[in-house]
Chains A and B, each alone.
Chain A
Amino acid sequence: MQTVTRRDVLKFGIASAGALVVSGLGFDVAVAESTKIKLNLRIAGAKESHSICPYCAVGCSLVAYTRQASDGKVQLLQIEGDPDSPVNEGRLCPKGATAMQLATSPRRVESPRYRAAGTNAWKNVTWDFALNKIAQNVKASRDATFVTTDGNGNTVNRTEGIAFAGGAAFSSEEGYFATKLMRSLGLVYLEQQARV
């Protein structure tokens, strides 16, 4: 089997830039070779998954490549436009094309953080600490501001002192789940990204 080097790719690339190089077999040699070359790329043998761009609402499909390292960690190798999608046909804008830098980042918050009233620094805390304290706050604010019956005697069962706003990078199912939970807590101050 012929071995194709990176230099060959460039050569084929240049050759086909001027005109389509059709071999005697009736197909574009460059395309055929490129397909073969793909097997030697760093995505060779990688797992291919499908995603959707997290930025605007065009809904460009993404192909993401991952590989599990010997230590068991999954490494994200590459994100590119999905050529099968009737929405984007493989194309991405500068944001979508750099989605990998959003997906994994050294700037991520690594631990739950807590800043007590009036203090001037974050403290790293455990999930249990944070979730317990938040749950206590939710219950206290709910009990303090819950209105069972309004001034006209109507049953309203609403929590007036807590608001929830859920972002537009929620999967739909998360958004639905949030609606269901928040309303069951009696929240009426509910918002997402549609207005702003």
Chain B
Amino acid sequence: MTNHWRDIKNADMILINGANPAEAHPVGFQWFMRAKLERGAKMIHADPRFTRTSAVADTYLRIRTGTDVAYFGGLINYVLQNNLIQSDYVRNYTNASFIVKQGFSFNDGLFSGYSADKRAYDITSWSYETGANGFANRDMTLQHERSVFQLLKTHYSRYTPEIVSSITGIPVDQFNKVAAQVGAMGKPDKVMTIVYAVGLTHHTTGGQLIRSGAVLQLLLGNMGLPGGGMNAERGHANIQGNTDHAISWELLPGYLRAPAPGQKNIDEHVAQVATKKSDPNSWNYLGTNYKKFLVSMLKGWYGSAATKDNDFAFDYLPKPGSNASWMTIYDQALKGKMEGVVLSGMTAASIGPDTNQVQQALSNLKWLVIMDPLPTTSSEFWHAPGADPSKINTEVFMLPTTHWIEKDGSFTNSGRWAQWKDQVIPPQGNARHDHWILSDIFNRVKDMYKQQGGKFADAILALNFDYKDPLKPELDEIAKEINGKDLSTGKQMTSFANLKDDGTTTSGDWIYAGSYLDTGSLMKRRAGIQDPKTNDPTGLGFYPNWAWSWPLNRRVLYNRASADMDGKPWDPARPGIQWNGTQWVGDVPDYPPTMNPKDPKAWLPFIMNGEGVGRLFSNGMIDGPFPEHYEPVESPVTNPLHSANSASPVAFLYDQASGRPNRFGTATDYPYIATSYRLTEHEHYVTQHVPHLVQLQPEPFVEIPSELAQTKGIKTGDKVRVSSKRGKVEVLALVTKRLGPLKVAGQTVYQIGIPIHWGPVGISADGDPNHGRYWLANALTPFVGDANSRTPEFKAFLVNLERI
């Protein structure tokens, strides 16, 4: 989230796409309702299924799954054609005025630079025309034909209400009504928020689905303002914290990039990955300071072994040669290249996608370690219903770990608030903390390298274990390490602004610098609603002394953009930060605290970008500088915008790339669209062990639109088989009006809804004669990923439906 949960109450309009907060984030949803009931905010919910969120929304739009780029693209076109944009903001705070190089083009669904052989773009033409000073040329009138603004206008002119309707299934009149309401949010004192969840991310176009919303928000001047922003509702307690700290192949902590082969030293790495200034007034904060953050991390990790002479042990960091994300792990196992997998609190056998293929991948491993408090579908995969243990030669370890409440440490919520929790109870039985187990294994491995030698042990031997008990580090000690310290004074860092690139400072994750001071951890702070007057001085719900929010306890990201060029809030009733003549006041400013906005040298508002402004056009994505609608890889219709390039030309097709047979179906065999989702009473798969929740939602089912059920003779409670090219589920039917027919590209299509929570492990499975053999929803989902993030397509695929 650029903003945070409580801030949603500050919105005038809430667009909800790819999310069902009333059921998936019910307690967070109270802030949506507060906006509606207290401010009169309008709530617009676009979703394939009419949910409890739709029930309290002012407008519900039934949208075909995976077509939100068309919806947002239509809204972008509407606000541009009708001149409803926040023009001062667009001119000064976005790259609308930047001139794009000659040679950039978009034709028939392809941007310039496409190679069909590689299924990839050469993106060199997606950049700015530069002047003699090396900076981008700009045209502040926005009239230049190659200005981002004009290119944007042309690109989205194709997204007429009629085209939007034929792609999304939203009737033209309904779309136009919503477009007019959204257009009103371009006034400087009106603020809209866009809220989304995995209904946007879990697509082959997931990254661009989100960017299309962000482009709309920039055009309406809604980024950086209280009540505005792009707000991702994350689905698990600490996805945010674990992303921040980079358990992710392509990142280092704090969103630094994992180094790539060929980057011989830190300077070469920085030269290739750090953004460069494309405007003289751009601060380019991350690009400028990148090296300080990286050196401080390396110094924290490798201590005295990280010196100037060895480039701070840069070579100790592994350099991935190609993508190494979730699906790639199992793809490598299918190719026989992966020997061992450690799953700590995640179950591949349920998560998928294409769980039958993942099951095969697990069978190909030499060894598998499961660290979990409870049995999972992965720990039990070798004797799952239908499996033959004698043919599975994977050695499997199940290590009982502690639950969240048996250890302390912090969780960072969707709104970036790092909240500390106590250890409430001691570990149950023989369970051990995950980090103690990892430390123990690591130190046993280290001892073996000491005794026996082996491949490149330098990083293992040098790793800093400066804890009271190296086998049992305390999370409090690690929290201090993440914050970092000044090695010359021994004092905790108070801000990443003081980090240095000479090895005299440490910080395990620069964005958390300032969270743990010499006076203690700010994540433990508890000044909440027991005293709103004192604890919420602005009245906007920031509660600055409740926990700690990264970066630097800032509650709304990009908040310099909440004030106009002179530093006055766009909406005086809802100031993010404002210039009082000598300094910026309000939220923790995303700007130098005493920089006069009227100074001709004042930095542009988006300090983290090379441009200094928000990007309507971006070369940060590998599937296009502007979001474009592509059909899901499995779709019953061809793309009306460009039938020759119907689906994403760069979505990653694992099976094809690895030489395995095609596992995609067509509408002839699988005529219905399916989408997967979650229920209030369950969370992924772990709640299959919680008796009360199993009682509330005891059995797997699929939701079938009543019109389709009627033609198939299916009634609620009938057992049905839903099958895709990859697998099947056999569960109960729930015939519903929540789903319905859609008119798309001149034909009627149906969508089927599949909750994901069941499988062959848990209380429900224990009570089933077939032990949940055909309950895994992800047996149906395709093994294909978004070009940028390789996030799997869980939300749009083709199935057949039969009564059994």
Contact = CB atoms under 8 A, between A and B. Distances in A.
B237 A169 contact: yes
B318 A110 contact: no
A158, A159, A163, A164: most-surrounded residue (chain B CB, <10 A): A163
Contacts of A28: none
Contacts of A181: 438-439, 442, 463
A17 interface: no
Contacts of A127: 430, 432
Contacts of A119: 389
B340 A192 contact: no
B429, B435, B681: most-surrounded residue (chain A CB, <10 A): B435
Contacts of B369: 134
B389 A118 contact: yes
8 contacts: A50-B420, A101-B691, A118-B392, A167-B236, A168-B235, A188-B318, A189-B249, A194-B242
A161 B337 contact: yes
A92 B28 CA distance: 10
B733 interface: no
Contacts of A53: 237
Given A113-B398, A191-B325, 5 more contacts: A95-B687, A113-B397, A122-B398, A142-B445, A172-B410
Contact of B687 (A102, A110, A162, A189): A102
Nearest to A109: B400
B530 interface: yes
A122 B267 CA distance: 51
B763 to A, nearest CB: 8
Interface in B28-74: 28, 30
A42 B28 CA distance: 30
Interface stretch (B100-108, B185-193, B454-462): B454-462
Given A74-B426, A95-B693, A165-B326, A117 B393 contact: yes
Contacts of A66: 424-425
Contacts of A95: 680-683, 687, 690, 693
B449 interface: yes
Interface residues of B, number: 164
Nearest to A176: B245
Nearest to B198: A196
Contacts of A87: 5-6, 27-28, 413, 415, 417
Closest 6 CB pairs of A and B: A167-B345, A171-B409, A59-B413, A168-B236, A172-B241, A135-B444
Given A117-B395, A162-B339, A192-B247, A61 B28 contact: no
Given A56-B683, A87-B413, A134-B369, A98 B27 contact: no
B243 A194 contact: yes
A94 B696 contact: yes
B403 A195 contact: no
Given A117-B394, A167-B346, A184-B459, A154 B264 contact: yes
A157 B458 CA distance: 10
A193 B683 CA distance: 13
Given A157-B316, A191-B326, A195-B792, A168 B237 contact: yes
B321 A158 contact: yes
Contacts of A59: 5, 237, 411-415, 417, 419
Contacts of A154: 261-262, 264, 319
Interface stretch (A7-15, A18-26, A29-37, A144-152): A144-152
B530 A84 contact: yes
B405 A64 contact: yes
Contact of A139 (B245, B345, B435, B449): B449
Nearest to B448: A139
B394 A173 contact: no
B428 interface: yes
Given A56-B236, A58-B5, A108-B400, A164 B344 contact: yes
Nearest to B526: A84
B474 to A, nearest CB: 9
B234 to A, nearest CB: 4
Contacts of A179: 245-247, 253
B754 interface: no
Contact of B325 (A120, A134, A183, A195): A195
B342, B372, B687, B691: most-surrounded residue (chain A CB, <10 A): B342
B392 A175 contact: no
Given A157-B459, A176-B253, A138 B345 contact: no
Interface string A110-129: 11111111111010000100
B473 interface: yes
Contacts of B243: 192, 194
Contacts of B430: 110-112, 127
A74 B237 contact: no
B236, B379, B452: most-surrounded residue (chain A CB, <10 A): B236
Nearest to A113: B398
B343 A165 contact: yes
| Chain A interface size range | 35 or more
Interface stretch (B90-98, B112-120, B274-282, B475-483): B475-483
B475 A171 contact: yes
A133 interface: yes
Interface in B519-541: 526, 528-530, 535-536, 541
A51 interface: yes
B324 interface: yes
Contacts of A117: 392-395
Contact of B324 (A61, A94, A116, A188): A188
Contact of A57 (B238, B398, B444, B455): B238
Interface in B350-386: 351-352, 366-367, 369, 372-375, 379, 382-383
A102 B402 CA distance: 11
A54 B405 contact: yes
B422 interface: yes
Given A59-B413, A95-B687, A110-B400, A150 B321 contact: yes
A60, A113, A136, A184: most-surrounded residue (chain B CB, <10 A): A184
Contacts of A143: 454-455
A40 interface: no
A120 B383 contact: yes
Interface in B299-345: 301, 315-321, 324-326, 328-329, 332, 337-345
A155 B410 contact: no
B320 A188 contact: yes
Contacts of B245: 172, 175-176, 179
A142 B693 contact: no
B76 to A, nearest CB: 27
B345 A110 contact: no
A190 interface: yes
Nearest to B369: A134
Contact of B375 (A109, A112, A178): A109
B261, B264, B389, B680: most-surrounded residue (chain A CB, <10 A): B261
B767 to A, nearest CB: 13
B478 A177 contact: yes
Nearest to B329: A163
B724 interface: no
Contact of A76 (B344, B418, B421, B425): B425
A179 B344 CA distance: 13
Given A57-B240, A76-B425, A192-B242, A171 B407 contact: yes
B399 A130 contact: yes
Contact of B410 (A89, A98, A148, A173): A173
A50 B421 contact: yes
Contact of A135 (B233, B429, B441): B441
B324 A189 contact: yes
Contacts of B429: 108, 110-111
Interface string B252-285: 0100001001101000000000000000000000
